[in-house]
Structure 1
Amino acid sequence: MDVAEWTPHDEALNSIIEVLRDSLVPDSEIQRKVQEKIIMMQKHPDFANYLLYILRNSQAYEEHVRALSAIILKNNVSTTYDTIPIPVLNQMKQECLHLMLDSSKDVRASITTLIGTLIWKGNVSSWPDVIPYLCNLLDSSDSQVSETALMALFKICEEYLSKRGTEKEESNESLNALVSKFITLVSSDRTVIRRDSIKLLNQAMQDNSATTKIHFDSKMYLNNLFQVIEDDDIEVQKLVCQAFCTFMETRDVAILSQIHNIIEFMLQKTEHEETEVALQACEFWLATAKLTTCRDILIPYIDRLLPILLRNMKYSEYELDALRNCIGVDEHLDDKPDDIRPFNMRNSARSNEDDSDLGYCNGEGDSYEQTDAIGEPYIGWTLRKCSAASLDALSLKFGDEMLPVLFPLIREALNSGDFLIKESGILALGAIADGCMNGLKMCLPGFIDYLLNCMNSDHSLVRVITCWTLSRYMGWIMEEPTAEHYFIQVMTILLKHFLDGNKRLQRAALSAFCIFQEEARLKLVPYIDFVLQAFLLCFKKYKFRSYLLLYDAIGVLAQSVGNNLNKLEYINLLLPPLMHKFNSTEDYYDEQFMALMECLSNVAIALEGGFLPYAEVIYSRCLLIINETVTSIQCYIENPDEFELPDRDPMCVAHDMLLGMAIGLKTYFVKFVTNSNLLQNMYYTLQDEMVQVRQPALALYGELIKLCFDHLNSTVHECIPIIIENLDKRYDIACNNAAWVIGKLCIAMGNKIEPYANQILERFLEIMQTMNGIKTMYQTVAISLCTLGLVCPDQVMPHLSVILRPCCQAMRNVGDCEEKDMGFRGLCELVVRNPLAAVNDFIYFCDAVASWNEIRSDLKETVTNILIGFKNHSGEGNWSGFYEQFPPLLKMRLNKLYGI
């Protein structure tokens, strides 16, 4: 039967109409039943035909019912496309084209979405008449028809562009040509067409700049943008600014011919009265600052740009209005829902970039925008923040060259009687801290005195930004002899403002104090009691969100002073309030509880055996969290219709907590593991689909190998294949941790790991081929690969010529540590067994062995023998020529360490 002649059954049709009408009733119970009925109806083979029937009968059904049927049809197509018969799909496509002329605006809008979905699920080549038809409508004199056609074409292009780079990618001349057509529409007489065309083209440049070049004439697009550069429409102005930013971000050379005109335009728009236009224009300076040629481009304009940026750093009325309830004394008020929400804590794990001990990774820190310093995150990205970020980025490019222009402007702002202008000057002073430090050093004593005085300002906004700006100069404050003068002053004033009546200032002071602690490190040891007393007062005063920063600050203290915190008087001050919070929180999905667990993890590492009295209750809670989450995940996997997928965040934090306890308690931790089902649960968490779960689970497993391998030995062969699966550089931090675990397994198992050596080697070789991920991952892989060579040299040795250079390049940057020692022993073993394979890249071996500060005597002897052997084998003449290639510093290091 012809689909067009299909007729519905009245009973089924009426049921569907009833569901569509009920879906508009604002009642949660009715909505739940509607969703259940729709899911059930989707299983009916004629469901799409019924929806098409409703769509085409404009006389019989209300507009909202027909529009809703199109939306449901779109959802149905999205989930069941492959099962819909071809005749039904073809009929659907024809109906879509007819309905583009429907009198209902809502129906037309819904149809454009359906067209986009049909393109996404199928392809344009199977619907060849859609683009020519829509292009004809685009030229219609009826503005409603042309705008609907534009909307449909826009969605087709969006779907097409989103397919680029996927397995569904198709090459379609009509679509590529359509992108070019939108370039010609940039200068259309109709505002909506100009606006949507620029919006789509900007998306094309941002997301697919490489693949669209064939049919994307960037010069023509640039020229057409200049035809609308004075457009009255605010949205068009924003989009033009965005386009110029995108040209800069994608480093499109077409911009060079117009760079002077563009910069003049952007300078003008950065001062635009419409804040959104000014913000979009300001993004241009941030994008330009990322270019290596930034200075050359902006030198002629920097004198005009800097005053504009500084003026834009003053709080806007919008920001002041958003902050109006948190400017004065508000400590007595409960936190608002906006404040009680997921909050990104600072990185509380050991950082392999800074520590000499190579180990696992646990994540990265906050971005410029996320900090408490410049404003509350819920305000969003504002012109003030963008201007400050731009000034920061430009200072890194121009350095002290900016100061002759900027210094008088900042001084003027700091001396202003308007506290908002003064506040913007303090922000600017903080923004240039990294880039202009050398030029500022002579003036910093005066500036720091000024900032310390500003901490007593009547205006909380001034006090908040002063905390942040002080934090930007903590490195200088810690230098001798500066520290002697400022250390106690800065510490005292920040501790004082922990207890400020303004909650936002409490958090700003805590955040700045975290930086203070990180820079001070062991300088804090004499003042631990003083700091803990301040923390103790905070427990009596704080509301929800300030606790998150308090836990962060306590964790950073533990990291900074290490086991100096392990004194009974300190433990008696710190642990009771922490454990009171721990024991009084029953909801482990609570954000504050997870922040507390992160804090306790760092405290456990610092206290070592001093944490033991508190370990059992915390271990039990962590195990409960992991047990319940693993069970819930298994239930969901087996029966997704009956169970919900649980939030895994508490389980991630529980793994981190156990990891901290394992590191701190060492052998004391073993009794907890042996008397529990932790290992059974870890079998699942090590292979969880979420990398955020696998990452800490792998780190914990590695620590358990070090502490109690005998207990793991019975199940290790079940886990090794899972560890190997995690050697995937797409998930670099989990990959790093898995490689670290492999190194620990090599040490624990020796040559018993040989059955897995080839699988491990295959993954390691693949990772080391392209070193374009995080540096620590390649360092860890290199060391574990060489450690594998120590215990399974016969498997690794044939690959020495391939791995020598990348392994040496990675390991040379690792500080002295146990892992590096094992890695170099393995590398030396491979070189001794296969010296010819090392000849071509021997200079990298020399460079790597010169990276030691203190090398163990037996390893030193092995390296020395290899170097002497190579020298003797080369002959005096060849060695002299080879040796002369070395930089002077390398020659000096080799001579000092090995007498070469």
Structure 2
Amino acid sequence: MTHAPMTNSTLSYGLKMNWGEWRPQESILKNIEETLQLALVPNSEAQKTVQDRLNVMQNLTDFSNYLLFILGSSSYSEDIRSLSGILLKNNILLVYTRFSAEDSATIKNECLRLLKDSSREVRMSISNVIVIIAKDNLKTWPELIPFLVKTFVAQDEFSEISLTTLFKICEELITSQKPQDEIYRITKEVFPKFVEYVAVDKCMVRQDIVRLTNQFLQDYFQVMKQSVDLGAYLRNVMRLANVEDMDLQKHICHTFVIYVENQEPTLLPHLHDIICYLMEKCRHEDQDVALQACEFWLATTKLNTCRDILTPYIEKLLPILLKNMKYSSTELNMIKDSLGADANNKDLSKDISPFHMKERNVGDGEEYFSDEDLEGSNDDFDDFYVGWTLRKCSAASLDSIACKFGEELLPLLIPLISEMLRHSDYLVKESAILALGAIAEGCMLGLKSELPDLVRYLICSMNDEHSVVRVITCWTLSRYVSWIVSIRTDNPEEFFVPVMTILLKHFVDDNKRVQRAAISAFCIFQEEAQLKLIPYIDFILEGFKYGFEKFHCRSLYLLYDAIGVLAQSVGSHLSKEEYVNKLLPPLMSKFTELNNFCDDHFIAVLECLSNVIPALEVSFLPYSETVYLHCLQLINDTLIACINYQQYPNEYDPPDKEPMNVAHDVLYSMALGLKTHFVKYVTNSNLIYLLYTTMQDGSNLIRQTSIALYGELIGLCYPFLASNVNEYIPLIIKNLDEHTDGVCNNAAWVIGKLCSVMGSNIQQFLPEILNAFVHILRAPAIARTMHKTVAISLCIIFFVCPDVTIPEMDVIVKNCCMLVRNVRDSDEKDLAFRGLCEIIIRHPEFNKNYFIFFCDAAASWINIRIDLKEIIRNVLLSFKQQCGDENWAQFYCQFPEALKMKLHDLYGV
């Protein structure tokens, strides 16, 4: 095949040419045609030649003109025209923004013309081009949507492509994150026609219309409420309720869920029919249809009117939910490889979930973690890779319904569950145990008299021959541990010890799913039991020891969690030599054998150590140097990798910073646990200089943990930090940003620590600090840790620099009082109160109406130092004296009785 050569003069052709005047150059047109023809040859050599030519053609400034010309000309074959359309779409993606307004208008007009081309292939191609142009240019193409709607409504041979194009544009709109007014501009034109058309008998795209409308209702309900008659849409959807198409049935069920989630009033007249329909669909043989119908009950439980809505149907609904809580054949097939004795098999890649560490914030001298109690690994009664199923949705719905109805459900539920427990099919029995767990939170009080027998039954079920029964029993036991550990009995052997023992026993179950479920349940048991575990620490560590010997990856991750929870539950009671000798050797063995810092297993061990070290205190000293050096090396290596990537991004991959974050966390824990013994490591290493870098890292988590570590070092070895502390303070001030909660909290805490050791020497930095603190406290969210920490640090500033002035001093002091009252007794609270007293004494203009907040805060102390008690007492008496007896009596009568009693008991006022 011959083709005309392309020269530089060829490439520059048409550079300034207007579209209206544009004419193709024959040699170029021929060349492009031949290239498109060659592209149809299924030969690798031919395809390489085509790619080379296209790379050259891409430089033509009017390449899009040629492609559009070929696409719009019926003299070419459909294959050539269609291929030209594909290339045009790709080319427009690259060059459309360079077109003049006139050229763009011409292209758009030509696109609309070709949407009515006689060739279906051409229409499909040009539809894709339209969608690409419209993606970022809908505002500058106001005639597009009306044209498509008009063509669609005409119901001729071009309606299908117009509808397809509208669908594509709307789907792009869903993910575009455009402003709501722009979304509304489209929805008000398009969706009223869709709502009408979905009810037309000959409509062949009902499923697509309902699916797309649901997507917009899900994401833009209020916009859609303004755009369409939601009552009409609901009525039209209900007319489709008996269609056989299962995908459409799912979408119809989803419509009802969206309406109830948004408490749409047009649902109410049809509620009875819809509920009856959904109960029927919950019995559907197709699990996906049944699941979508079941979502309605879960959505309804979120409403305040849930009881009113569901009460007339609850007797029929409960058996449906219970039946659907049985494992489906699909679920059983997905977990079939993990039902037997698989404890000696290595974990498959799908069994190993990523490790997620907890975030650390510090404040009030203690640690704060954000963690979801029953998310992720604790939801192990069904493996996470099975996904959201009808079984899980039914269990969640029963759980939520039980929380709304409470013990009223029990007369209906107990006979049903009891019958299921006696069933010969172990899968039915398993679903009954799941149901017992699901109702635990809502029906605990009503089950009180049954709980002894219930717990004994669950203990027996832990020895069931079927692993799925043992798995679900672990979870259900975990739902009742609050009763198990709190029941008042002189005999812990009755429930506490048997439950603890049976869970530990199944740490070494021959099935890995049971192992994981037992560990997860035991973590919850430990969290509830807390100090009640102390007599059994040795026994628990024996169970952990077997776990180290037997577990594979995923079970090991959970074991590390269990060790961390034990440490947090019993604290320094874990630091006895015999306990340390049982726990640390296997844990440190895992630590030293893992050399890959980015390995999830290594991160899990590190995070476990960060939880354990504060409890072990100086007992950790024999292992501390190894851990310290590993952490330091990890931080060094990561920072070097960051520099390499920044300088040579094409040669190096961006480093994973998560291990470095956990390393900071471990070092922080070592500082907490080892206290002054940690100082020798700091003074003989470059840790402080590394922190100067990591405190400026782009990751919030890295800055959060490095600032926390620096703050702890202030208390341990400030003289060592003092020589260059002025270089670090600006970095800390820069992180006083309320939009990064954990970072801001830690930075504010560090400011308080610095004030307590620097005193008035911090004066030069106060303007910036006070500006940031006041900004954060102007509208405090009282429950947030960050605001409490800021308030404490600001009050410490008042103590060390009592002459400071800030705008709206009385409002800020009032806010500080409200926040500090919720802080537990501590050295920081002591300093904060001394600051509050100083500032109130020095500002007699302090708003008298706010003084009640100081009184309330003063009453929050449990154990207060004698000298501080005297200071507060003098402030109270001084205020009383200034008021005079009559005004004080009026003021004092506003106080709640509990506050009056506390002030009298503490301060004699």
The 5 A counterparts of 1:232-247 are: 232-247=244-259
- Judged with a 3 Å threshold, the aligned counterparts in structure 2 of structure 1 residues 37 and 809 are, in CA distance, closer, same or farther, namely farther
Residue aligning to 1:511: 520
Match of 1:272 among 278, 284, 287: 284
Residue aligning to 2:108: 93
- Judged with a 3 Å threshold, the aligned counterparts in structure 2 of structure 1 residues 129 and 822 are, in CA distance, closer, same or farther, namely same
The 5 A counterparts of 1:858-877 are: 858-877=867-886
Looking at structure 2, the residues matched to 35 and 351 of structure 1 have their Cα atoms a distance apart, in angstroms, of: 59
- Displacement after TM superposition at 1:55 (Å): 6.1
User: How many residues are treated as equivalent by the alignment?
Assistant: 885
Deviations along 1:418-441, one digit per CA (max 9) or x if unpaired, are: 211111111111112122111111
- Displacement after TM superposition at 1:120 (Å): 4.0
Residue aligning to 1:829: 838
Opposite residue 811 of structure 2, the aligned amino acid is V
Looking at structure 2, the residues matched to 827 and 863 of structure 1 have their Cα atoms a distance apart, in angstroms, of: 9
The 5 A counterparts of 1:470-485 are: 470-482=477-489, 483-485=492-494
- Judged with a 3 Å threshold, the aligned counterparts in structure 2 of structure 1 residues 231 and 603 are, in CA distance, closer, same or farther, namely same
Looking at structure 1, the residues matched to 143 and 843 of structure 2 have their Cα atoms a distance apart, in angstroms, of: 66
Looking at structure 2, the residues matched to 39 and 571 of structure 1 have their Cα atoms a distance apart, in angstroms, of: 68
- Displacement after TM superposition at 1:827 (Å): 2.6
Is 1:553 aligned with 2:562?
Answer: yes
Contact in 1 for aligned 2:35/2:50 (Cα 8 Å): no
Looking at structure 2, the residues matched to 760 and 767 of structure 1 have their Cα atoms a distance apart, in angstroms, of: 11
Is 1:374 aligned with 2:381?
Answer: yes
- Displacement after TM superposition at 1:618 (Å): 1.9
Residue aligning to 1:134: 148
Residue aligning to 1:776: 785
Is 1:625 aligned with 2:640?
Answer: no
Is 1:580 aligned with 2:594?
Answer: no
The 5 A counterparts of 1:185-200 are: 185-189=197-201, 193-200=205-212
Contact in 2 for aligned 1:789/1:797 (Cα 8 Å): no
The 5 A counterparts of 1:469-868 are: 469-482=476-489, 483-771=492-780, 775-868=784-877
Is 1:2 aligned with 2:18?
Answer: yes
Residue aligning to 1:312: 324
Is 1:459 aligned with 2:499?
Answer: no
- Judged with a 3 Å threshold, the aligned counterparts in structure 2 of structure 1 residues 351 and 731 are, in CA distance, closer, same or farther, namely closer
Opposite residue 150 of structure 1, the aligned amino acid is L
- Judged with a 3 Å threshold, the aligned counterparts in structure 2 of structure 1 residues 351 and 737 are, in CA distance, closer, same or farther, namely closer
- Displacement after TM superposition at 1:480 (Å): 4.1
- Judged with a 3 Å threshold, the aligned counterparts in structure 2 of structure 1 residues 374 and 780 are, in CA distance, closer, same or farther, namely same
What is the SS of the residue equivalent to 1:485? coil
Opposite residue 407 of structure 1, the aligned amino acid is I
Deviations along 1:726-760, one digit per CA (max 9) or x if unpaired, are: 33333323332232223223323333333333333
Deviations along 1:823-859, one digit per CA (max 9) or x if unpaired, are: 3333333222224333233333332222222222222
Looking at structure 2, the residues matched to 741 and 111 of structure 1 have their Cα atoms a distance apart, in angstroms, of: 61
Is 1:289 aligned with 2:301?
Answer: yes
Residue aligning to 1:423: 430
- Displacement after TM superposition at 1:374 (Å): 2.7
- Higher deviation after alignment, 186-195 or 817-826: 186-195
- Displacement after TM superposition at 1:581 (Å): 1.5
Looking at structure 1, the residues matched to 43 and 320 of structure 2 have their Cα atoms a distance apart, in angstroms, of: 50
Is 1:146 aligned with 2:153?
Answer: no
Contact in 2 for aligned 1:663/1:703 (Cα 8 Å): yes
- Higher deviation after alignment, 260-269 or 457-466: 260-269
Deviations along 1:679-720, one digit per CA (max 9) or x if unpaired, are: 333333323333233332232222222223333334443433
Match of 1:406 among 404, 407, 413: 413
Looking at structure 2, the residues matched to 714 and 13 of structure 1 have their Cα atoms a distance apart, in angstroms, of: 72
- Displacement after TM superposition at 1:776 (Å): 2.1
Is 1:325 aligned with 2:315?
Answer: no
- Displacement after TM superposition at 1:676 (Å): 2.9
- Displacement after TM superposition at 1:213 (Å): 4.2
Residue aligning to 2:14: none
- Displacement after TM superposition at 1:15 (Å): 12
Residue aligning to 1:214: 226
- Judged with a 3 Å threshold, the aligned counterparts in structure 2 of structure 1 residues 519 and 178 are, in CA distance, closer, same or farther, namely same
Match of 1:885 among 871, 874, 894: 894
- Displacement after TM superposition at 1:368 (Å): 4.6
What is the SS of the residue equivalent to 1:664? helix
The 5 A counterparts of 1:253-264 are: 253-264=265-276
Contact in 1 for aligned 2:191/2:213 (Cα 8 Å): yes
What is the SS of the residue equivalent to 2:503? helix
Looking at structure 1, the residues matched to 472 and 55 of structure 2 have their Cα atoms a distance apart, in angstroms, of: 53
Looking at structure 1, the residues matched to 686 and 55 of structure 2 have their Cα atoms a distance apart, in angstroms, of: 40
Residue aligning to 1:299: 311
Opposite residue 893 of structure 1, the aligned amino acid is K
- Judged with a 3 Å threshold, the aligned counterparts in structure 2 of structure 1 residues 534 and 359 are, in CA distance, closer, same or farther, namely closer
- Displacement after TM superposition at 1:378 (Å): 0.4
Contact in 2 for aligned 1:789/1:796 (Cα 8 Å): no
What is the SS of the residue equivalent to 1:386? helix
- Judged with a 3 Å threshold, the aligned counterparts in structure 2 of structure 1 residues 518 and 697 are, in CA distance, closer, same or farther, namely same
- Judged with a 3 Å threshold, the aligned counterparts in structure 2 of structure 1 residues 500 and 174 are, in CA distance, closer, same or farther, namely closer
What is the SS of the residue equivalent to 1:896? helix
- Displacement after TM superposition at 1:592 (Å): 1.2
- Displacement after TM superposition at 1:274 (Å): 1.9
Aligned residues with identical type, % of pairs: 48
Is 1:386 aligned with 2:396?
Answer: no
- Judged with a 3 Å threshold, the aligned counterparts in structure 2 of structure 1 residues 171 and 487 are, in CA distance, closer, same or farther, namely closer
Deviations along 1:350-399, one digit per CA (max 9) or x if unpaired, are: 898xxxx5545443225556634330000001111111112222222222
Deviations along 1:119-169, one digit per CA (max 9) or x if unpaired, are: 4433x23111210121133235457x5344334323433444555575x96
- Higher deviation after alignment, 2-11 or 637-646: 2-11
Residue aligning to 2:136: 121
Opposite residue 217 of structure 2, the aligned amino acid is M
Is 1:450 aligned with 2:457?
Answer: yes
Looking at structure 1, the residues matched to 77 and 473 of structure 2 have their Cα atoms a distance apart, in angstroms, of: 67
Q: What are structure 1's unaligned runs of at least 5 residues? A: none
What is the SS of the residue equivalent to 2:509? coil
TM-score, normalisation: structure 1:
0.89
Deviations along 1:755-811, one digit per CA (max 9) or x if unpaired, are: 333333333333334455972233223323333333344445433333244333333
Opposite residue 706 of structure 2, the aligned amino acid is A
Looking at structure 2, the residues matched to 498 and 865 of structure 1 have their Cα atoms a distance apart, in angstroms, of: 60
What is the SS of the residue equivalent to 1:338? helix
Contact in 2 for aligned 1:51/1:69 (Cα 8 Å): yes
Kindly report the root-mean-square deviation, in angstroms, between the aligned alpha carbons of the 2 structures: 3.6
What is the SS of the residue equivalent to 1:435? helix
Looking at structure 1, the residues matched to 718 and 52 of structure 2 have their Cα atoms a distance apart, in angstroms, of: 51
- Displacement after TM superposition at 1:333 (Å): 1.6
Looking at structure 2, the residues matched to 117 and 339 of structure 1 have their Cα atoms a distance apart, in angstroms, of: 41
Contact in 1 for aligned 2:798/2:838 (Cα 8 Å): yes
- Higher deviation after alignment, 394-403 or 249-258: 249-258
- Judged with a 3 Å threshold, the aligned counterparts in structure 2 of structure 1 residues 225 and 624 are, in CA distance, closer, same or farther, namely same
